[in-house]
Chains A and B, each alone.
Chain A
Amino acid sequence: DAGVIQSPRHEVTEMGQEVTLRCKPISGHNSLFWYRQTMMRGLELLIYFNNNVPIDDSGMPEDRFSAKMPNASFSTLKIQPSEPRDSAVYFCASSLARQGASTEAFFGQGTRLTVV
């Protein structure tokens, strides 16, 4: 398997523009996570999907952020409108969640977003 695939790897956009980040999880995994990494706040969980259903979106900063998982092999994180403070590295991770078992999360390479 190619692992978790994120695109684009780098994105530079102007403030106010819409940004869409994409993620293809590992085939067979049933859990998907979006994390954001900044110097100030470290790694923060934004949203967690299980079997394509959003389970915990308490980490989504505000209404400008939205995430979807239309099927088991694809997820998007959208920011509209984008702001300079959204600049960060966004990671997607997937795992196979089983009852009572530890689940190893596999991370993508991340998307480095710069909003100018």
Chain B
Amino acid sequence: AQSVTQPDIHITVSEGASLELRCNYSYGATPYLFWYVQSPGQGLQLLLKYFSGDTLVQGIKGFEAEFKRSQSSFNLRKPSVHWSDAAEYFCAVEDYKLSFGAGTTVTVRA
């Protein structure tokens, strides 16, 4: 069965600093991978997705993610974090349904 692991439960980053969130997946075939963001009291919003092709994927809000098959990873990055990026981030793998990681909470300090 497919699964994803997000090793970091909580990350604190200074505004303007770079951010990297880790995601490792387990899937037998070529995975469809997603990153979602959830602000407090809100639903999940898609940041970006990987289906095939270019391993560096650009998303909304200045986020990007890199698919590395050799490492079974799909890490999310942002070069310069804004206070509004404080939220919970979920990595997910799809096999007709989405299986989510446990999530990483990002706190942005001034």
Contacts and interface: CB of A to CB of B under 8 A. Distances in A.
A43 B49 contact: no
Looking at chain B's contact residues, is the secondary structure mostly helix, strand, loop, or mixed?
strand
A103 B94 CA distance: 8
Contacts of A93: 44, 98
Contacts, number: 48
A70 interface: no
Interface of A: 4, 31, 33, 42-43, 45, 48, 50, 55-56, 91, 93, 97, 101-110
B23 to A, nearest CB: 14
Interface string B38-71: 0000111110010100000000000000000000
Looking at chain A's contact residues, is the secondary structure mostly helix, strand, loop, or mixed?
strand
Measured as residues with beta carbon below 8 angstroms from the partner, the interface class of chain B is 20 to 34
A56 B44 contact: no
Question: Of residues A43, A97, A106, which shows the largest number of chain B Cβ atoms within 10 Å of its Cβ?
Answer: A43
Contact of A45 (B36, B98, B102): B98
Contacts of A33: 97-98
A90 B103 CA distance: 17
